[in-house]
Amino acid sequence: MSGSGHLFERLRHKVLAALEALCKAGELPPTDVSGVGVDVPKAQGHGDVATNAALMLAKPAGKPPLEIAEMIAREMRKDGSFEKVEVARPGFVNFTLKPESVVAELAEVLRTGGNYGKNTSGSGKKVNVEYVSANPTGPLHIGHVRGAVFGDVLANLLEWSGFDVCREYYINDAGLQVDVLARSAFLRYREALGEDIRAIPEDMYPGEYLCAVGKALAQEHGKSLLEKDESEWLPAVRETAVASMLKMIKEDLRELGIVQEYFASEREVLERGGVEQVLKRLNKKGLLYEGVLEPPKGKEVSDWKPREQTLFRSTAFGDDTDRALKKADGSPTYFVNDIAYHFDKFERGFSEMIDVWGADHGGYIKRQQAAVKAMTDGKGYLDIKVCQLVRLLRGGEVVKMSKRAGTFVTLRELVKEAGRDATRFMMLYRKNDAVLDFDFAKVVEQSKDNPVFYVQYAHARACSVLRAADEMPELHNKDAARDFAKLRHSKELDVIKQMAAFPHVVENAARAHEPHRIAFYLYELASVFHILWSEGKRNPSLRFLNSEDCETTLDRVGLIRGVSQILSNGLSILGVEAPEEMR
């Protein structure tokens, strides 16, 4: 097969070429063809691939869809690579591929190997994916895991689509919570010096992970900090404590296989004058004013009083109400810091930004997007992906967690119990905006109830056949370049067709920012492979290995190598191992 790109792309180009030819011949007026696509028909009996071209063009061309479909079909029949080209109501053109064309895609899979499925739709464009961004005040817990995995896999996916991706973490190291952290660490410091600190006060972080920070402070400063006033020791203690928390968080993330490259500090953004820049810029655009906000509804805010303060006209960009940028005392709000941070990203060259947030931040989407639009004159684009809650179950029973009681499940505990692979896969086996149930009992189960094992098992099974093939002396020293002429059974071709969809799936998942599609695709590919395998049990002529027939065996070994390649490629996008055996 000639041409570049994967099967679907090539077919789409052929359809477009046919339309162009019809235009030239004066049979169709020139029209917008951006909506023309090729896809796998949902129902059986409509060929391998279909195009909606005639339906899309019917209106602009002023002709009945069936008539246009006939014209396209006539044009496409000139291409020899189709078994059948059929027109179907209301105006689809259905293509049935020749087996030669199907197996040619297998050759392509084997030729490109670990790169099969990559595309260049991102064309080197810079994109920033910010995820996790947990407050640096303690270890990561279950609530952070979903967003962490989602962001990481989305970044992988964008890389597969040819984007220049930056994986980023925003450190909230400037708010009150890091002062509380510093005070909590200071208490542990006194403890490390031998003082009896009694119970940890309500307004401090009780976690024992701070003991190590206290000891480190004692080693570094001796008793010298005890004599100082809080205003003197706090900055230094805060710095040490934040650095220590961040180190712990990075270690937590590594447990999940996640390594981010850029850690943006809120404090540094502020020190560079980020807030002043925001105020100046918005003011210049006439988007600031002094005003009084309505009191919040639905929730009591005990200390709310109507006050005049600096507001951002975010309603001009789709927000529900204008937002405060300065507190009553004139200090900047968290929101204005966030605006400064996003503008910092934009100035670092990221006009395309993706934030991965937890469900509890859903209400902040509009204002942040409004701010990016306003600050960048619409040149910056921010997509915000909200990951819904994870409900932790153990054998169908909800695991109750409480931060106060310290019964929160940490990332580390989760990975230790469920394993990295199962954790990552299951976090993606649901759309990001739907609530996810994560059942410990299910994710470690080794059966087809458990998608991660089902997919990994398919890979292990494939490898098992390849090992057996290696031990067949009659297969050695055969020419590797094959035309796969022996692969003609419909079930074999089905597997290759499923494989051929992989690049399409990767591209679409990246474009939609929906990593879960990869997980579902892999489940389907594993399924058609298991089906083919079992078919060999029923029908011995379909068994993969047959020492009486080397030609067929070699072709089938190629098929299996292709399946294992794609399973492995897809799993690598998910950051999940592709095991060679699972016994």
Partner RNA sequence: GGUCCCGUAGCUCAGUCGGAUAGAGCGCUAGCCUCCGAAGCUAGAGGUCACAGGUUCGAAUCCUGUCGGGACCGCCA
Contact pick of 112, 135, 277, 351 for RNA (by CB under 7 A) = 135
Residue 165 pairs in a beta bridge with 127
Q: In the complex with RNA, which residue's Cβ is closer, 413 or 581?
A: 581
By CB under 7 A, which span of 107-115, 169-177, 254-262, 408-416 interacts with RNA?
A: 169-177
The whole-angstrom separation of Cα 443 and Cα 453 is: 8
By CB under 7 A, which span of 3-11, 36-44, 282-290, 402-410 interacts with RNA?
A: 36-44
Is 353 strand, coil or helix? strand
Footprint on residues 364-393 left by RNA (CB under 7 A): 364-366, 386, 388-389
Written as six digits, the tokens of 222 are: 């001796």
DSSP state of 342: H
Nearby residues of 549 by Cβ (< 8 Å), 6 or more positions away = none
Q: Work out the burial of residue 45: count CB atoms within 10 Å of its CB; fewer than 13 is exposed, 13-18 middle, 19 or more buried.
A: exposed
Contact pick of 98, 454, 489, 577 for RNA (by CB under 7 A) = 454
Q: In the complex with RNA, which residue's Cβ is closer, 289 or 304?
A: 304
Least distance to RNA from the beta carbon of 221, Å?
26
By CB under 7 A, which span of 236-244, 278-286, 290-298, 475-483 interacts with RNA?
A: 290-298
Least distance to RNA from the beta carbon of 349, Å?
26
DSSP string, 197-248: --SPPTTS---TTHHHHHHHHHHHHTTGGGGS-HHHHHHHHHHHHHHHHHHH
Nearby residues of 108 by Cβ (< 8 Å), 6 or more positions away = 1, 6, 116
Footprint on residues 332-371 left by RNA (CB under 7 A): 333-335, 359-366
Residue 39 pairs in a beta bridge with 50
Footprint on residues 496-555 left by RNA (CB under 7 A): 514, 516-517, 520, 523, 527, 530-531, 533-538, 540, 542-545
Footprint on residues 1-20 left by RNA (CB under 7 A): none
- 296 binds RNA, rule: CB under 7 A: yes
Contact pick of 284, 297, 400, 404 for RNA (by CB under 7 A) = 297
The whole-angstrom separation of Cα 236 and Cα 460 is: 53
Is 306 strand, coil or helix? coil
The whole-angstrom separation of Cα 16 and Cα 10 is: 10
Residue 7, CA atoms < 13 Å, CB-side half-sphere: 33
Site mask for RNA (CB under 7 A), range 308-337, x = bound: -x----------xx-xx--xxx---xxx--
Tokens 């509890």 correspond to: 360
Q: In the complex with RNA, which residue's Cβ is closer, 25 or 435?
A: 435
Are 359 and 389 contacting, i.e. CB atoms less than 8 angstroms apart?
Answer: yes
Footprint on residues 70-129 left by RNA (CB under 7 A): 88-92, 94
- 437 binds RNA, rule: CB under 7 A: yes
Site mask for RNA (CB under 7 A), range 176-195, x = bound: xx------------------
Q: In the complex with RNA, which residue's Cβ is closer, 411 or 458?
A: 458
Residue 394 pairs in a beta bridge with 397
Footprint on residues 475-504 left by RNA (CB under 7 A): none
Least distance to RNA from the beta carbon of 191, Å?
25
